[in-house]
Structure 1
């Protein structure tokens, strides 16, 4: 206790002693001082201090190929703090460059490349495990533009960045940061393709890769090679101890869960850059360092990945669609006839093209049967001709049949197994999403085609329509949309808050920069179920509420195809997958669109007027019309009879008992849910006559002697109305007794006459 009091007293005394200094503007002695600015070399190098034992920066640059700031350290440092904009500030002249923060989880554009990256090590993929010991790269994405005519300066709060021993880096300012090429060497193939790499790749590897590209593109009369060269297609080779995600064009959207691949395909959306690992180019096998060996000793990944660019750039961008149409017909034939079952190839048209490219050059691995899910017994050109002659005929038009790949890929993959088996593709299991939270869950908007499933993504990927900011891509990752729902209408917003999907005309849609407006029907969409596909209960057309036009692909489904608006019969069939619920339920979980018809009276009541189709919250034209509306199974509740989508259906003289399904007498409970698998449903209101209470006799009614006006005799009261009409005056007397007596007399007389007739008849007998 004494020590605590002493410490507190000492702190107070220190504060009091410091007060005059603070008032007079002196700096506290404990404040850290920043060293003089450090000049960055023209090559990005930074001089280090050999006397300092804390972490130090060795190189800084902004790269030309993509928007990344690269900061190289001399060791592993805190992977979160090293890329945090809180600790890193980049200024361009007087302007601060906007750096992209790294999210706590999921895909990211900003990442720390290091074999000791703890986030990556915690995943099954651990895609950074192979990185070299001397690579410690903070790769930070930025937005906007950099003007290199103005100075580029980096300020680092090093005290927040520590190594594994807890030693801090220095607070420092780095001036004259250069903008440099990531690739430092390249060769150009005879067919016009640039093969490039950084300094970690051996020059002879580039030469070998270029030779493989020239064999793949040798049939120049097709125009494919020239088309690719015109688009600036290139092949990036990365070192055996690097991973594909270091390639600038493939760095964006880094998925920590994605395994360590040996290459990626090129397309117009990534500057037509394909990538390949040096270890596969060299076909390295049996090295003592396992990270130097290819994982695919019998599979040429260059032919496969560069094959993606052959199709997506070399063929699909041609004005003449002949080759594109022929390929699509070959794939469709294979899909619909059950060829290539349980293989990677049949999954979508892109992988079909790339896989069969490797088979054409006899550099595809095989499996003994058709149960692998990736490979099959068919892995050579000769087997392709026999098993799938339609596809063989197409590839014969674009690839050479008389050339062999250079060593070490001149040795074909082993071919021990053969087979001829077909089986129609098994569809992905899909279920209705449960416990959906509109406005909070993430959604994927996708369409199912013969070429595979494509999702709507938030970027401009259509070279023919660069002004459009949404296109489709093969399904990947989690959803990128947030959806709000209200009475049959969906508002589709970017999950990062960057805009709302809206119709901006009768043909165009956009999302970026459009602010949410609950009164704007152009931002609202109705998912109308496609009843022609009962085996696919989750698909439907997205109809814009403002113009009634349907969201549709502008071309045949393929990567990068943009979206437009067309007539309802032209609309693409879309599915809304709640990826948040998919993760929770363990199976792809979807919103179920249902067309519901509500009828105000049961069918056994009087005839109903014709149904009026409501769109969203707009009610039927007349208050008592039947109404048909497209709803989400997960968002539908039985309406109150006084507010049926805006109309009051209550009836005088009747009590509303509830709703029932047409042809079913059971009244539905208030918490009733539309059954799974339902695409259309008719409900009708059930009524009961309101109970009527008999009227009671009022003692003050006229004609009651006890209730007559005081001082007036009922027998003498005159009727002014009768007098005015010239009628005989009413006496006010009660004649009911007289009438009753007359009736009784008549009945008695009739009875006597009947008796006399019977007596007469008896006498005659």
Structure 2
């Protein structure tokens, strides 16, 4: 497995071609010998294996620049906390990444996540190439997983340094929102961290459409009306500028100049890694009523069980209003 990296500068209009990593930089960041590319400019590390396209690295860098435009203080804090963005190739999975390789059970995390937020103890925020560029088969085609996970990283590794009062104020806003009955039966109600990340997605007009885990508050305008306190926190951090996230395939050409030769019709299809089901495969299902596990008997009905999991892993149950299967373990 080989890795490449690119630096983010702010403001960011595009991303230069990756180059070889200077020995000085490799030593300073204690980079694994598998890392082999970099863009030597001031900013935040964006890394990916040799399987990851330059466009995926450039897109992640571009989003960082858009989200934190004007917030060099947050970028500086994250850089000093050794935060890096890790992009997974479409053929790679969470535990393939060095920073996430110790997560157990492996199969759980490889089915559970196509991106994780950074923490001070593990300062790597990850995302999947397929979601960044819009491959067919993307498990999350209606939202940017990177916007969500980078929001977690900003909270946990940036604002924690630049504004020690932020987390306390966020917790208070979350508690007040739950007390008022806001975000009922949504992912945002999980805890104050998810409340923040989901709010940031809405701030950038990027939250998923109405489904088992989301209500209809998916834009900045609606967030301002629905949850004033959360909207004010987003405004405080990001400002109230004009930039909104849009998928590369429908984005204005001037906003995808950093994507060289980008053709959405020529992109490959994302597919989950084929692994044996086992005799008693288990699925975790998230619903508007809570999470629950189901266990199938592959011996009793092998064809039916195989068909069910194949459809599930291709995203066949992701868009339901009342439930969706997210991942499974053997």
Contact 2:134–2:247 (8 Å) recurs in 1: no
Is 2:35 aligned against 1:183? yes
Q: For each residue in 1:193-212, what CA deviation from the matched residue of structure 2 results, as whole angstroms up to 9, or x when unmatched?
A: 11011111111221111001
Contact 1:219–1:398 (8 Å) recurs in 2: no
Contact 1:188–1:210 (8 Å) recurs in 2: no
Is 2:155 aligned against 1:323? no
Is 2:122 aligned against 1:283? no
Q: CA deviation at 1:303?
A: 0.6
Q: CA deviation at 1:216?
A: 1.2
> Could you say which structure has the larger radius of gyration?
1
Alignment equivalent of 2:229, drawn from 380, 390, 398: 390
The change in CA–CA distance for 1:427 and 1:295 in structure 2 (over 3 A counts) is closer
Pairing 1:90-169 to 2, within 5 Å after superposition = none
For structure 2, the residue ranges without an aligned partner over 5 or more in a row are 4-30, 253-287, 293-330
User: Does the residue aligned with 1:362 lie in a helix, a strand or coil?
Assistant: coil
Q: CA deviation at 1:410?
A: 6.3
Give 1:253's aligned residue: 103
Give 2:60's aligned residue: 209
Is 2:190 aligned against 1:338? no
Q: Distance between the aligned counterparts of 1:189 and 1:381, measured in 2?
A: 32
Give 1:262's aligned residue: 114
Q: CA deviation at 1:428?
A: 9.9
Give 1:404's aligned residue: 244
The change in CA–CA distance for 1:346 and 1:186 in structure 2 (over 3 A counts) is farther
Of Structure 1 and Structure 2, the greater helix share is in 2
Is 2:142 aligned against 1:298? yes
Q: Distance between the aligned counterparts of 2:227 and 2:99, measured in 1?
A: 35
Alignment equivalent of 1:227, drawn from 77, 81, 86: 77
The change in CA–CA distance for 1:315 and 1:426 in structure 2 (over 3 A counts) is farther
The change in CA–CA distance for 1:367 and 1:406 in structure 2 (over 3 A counts) is closer
User: Does the residue aligned with 2:77 lie in a helix, a strand or coil?
Assistant: helix
Q: Distance between the aligned counterparts of 1:403 and 1:327, measured in 2?
A: 23
Give 2:203's aligned residue: 360
Q: For each residue in 1:616-668, what CA deviation from the matched residue of structure 2 results, as whole angstroms up to 9, or x when unmatched?
A: xxxxxxxxxxxxxxxxxxxxxxxxxxxxxxxxxxxxxxxxxxxxxxxxxxxxx
Give 1:524's aligned residue: none
Is 2:227 aligned against 1:375? no
Q: Distance between the aligned counterparts of 1:367 and 1:263, measured in 2?
A: 21
Q: CA deviation at 1:409?
A: 7.1
Q: CA deviation at 1:298?
A: 1.3
Contact 1:300–1:409 (8 Å) recurs in 2: no
TM-score, normalised by the number of residues in structure 1: 0.28
Pairing 1:649-664 to 2, within 5 Å after superposition = none
Q: For each residue in 1:669-720, what CA deviation from the matched residue of structure 2 results, as whole angstroms up to 9, or x when unmatched?
A: xxxxxxxxxxxxxxxxxxxxxxxxxxxxxxxxxxxxxxxxxxxxxxxxxxxx
Q: Distance between the aligned counterparts of 2:89 and 2:154, measured in 1?
A: 23
Contact 1:404–1:410 (8 Å) recurs in 2: no
Structure with bigger RCO (C-alpha 8 Å, 6+ apart)? 2
User: Does the residue aligned with 1:345 lie in a helix, a strand or coil?
Assistant: helix
Of Structure 1 and Structure 2, the greater strand share is in 1
Contact 2:48–2:88 (8 Å) recurs in 1: yes
The change in CA–CA distance for 1:304 and 1:406 in structure 2 (over 3 A counts) is same
User: Does the residue aligned with 2:121 lie in a helix, a strand or coil?
Assistant: helix
The change in CA–CA distance for 1:240 and 1:302 in structure 2 (over 3 A counts) is same
Give 1:156's aligned residue: none
Contact 2:67–2:238 (8 Å) recurs in 1: yes
User: Does the residue aligned with 1:296 lie in a helix, a strand or coil?
Assistant: coil
Contact 1:267–1:312 (8 Å) recurs in 2: yes
Q: CA deviation at 1:273?
A: 0.7
Contact 1:186–1:197 (8 Å) recurs in 2: no
Q: Distance between the aligned counterparts of 1:409 and 1:314, measured in 2?
A: 30
Contact 1:346–1:352 (8 Å) recurs in 2: yes
Q: Distance between the aligned counterparts of 1:189 and 1:427, measured in 2?
A: 45
User: Does the residue aligned with 1:317 lie in a helix, a strand or coil?
Assistant: helix
Q: For each residue in 1:395-448, what CA deviation from the matched residue of structure 2 results, as whole angstroms up to 9, or x when unmatched?
A: 011114322347517659xxxxxxxxxxxx99999xxxxxxxxxxxxxxxxxxx
For structure 1, the residue ranges without an aligned partner over 5 or more in a row are 1-58, 64-178, 286-292, 413-424, 430-765
Pairing 1:387-466 to 2, within 5 Å after superposition = 387-400=226-239, 401-405=241-245, 408=248
Alignment equivalent of 1:196, drawn from 43, 47, 50: 47
Contact 1:211–1:406 (8 Å) recurs in 2: no
User: Does the residue aligned with 1:197 lie in a helix, a strand or coil?
Assistant: strand
TM-score, normalised by the number of residues in structure 2: 0.62
Q: Distance between the aligned counterparts of 2:249 and 2:67, measured in 1?
A: 13
The change in CA–CA distance for 1:254 and 1:184 in structure 2 (over 3 A counts) is farther
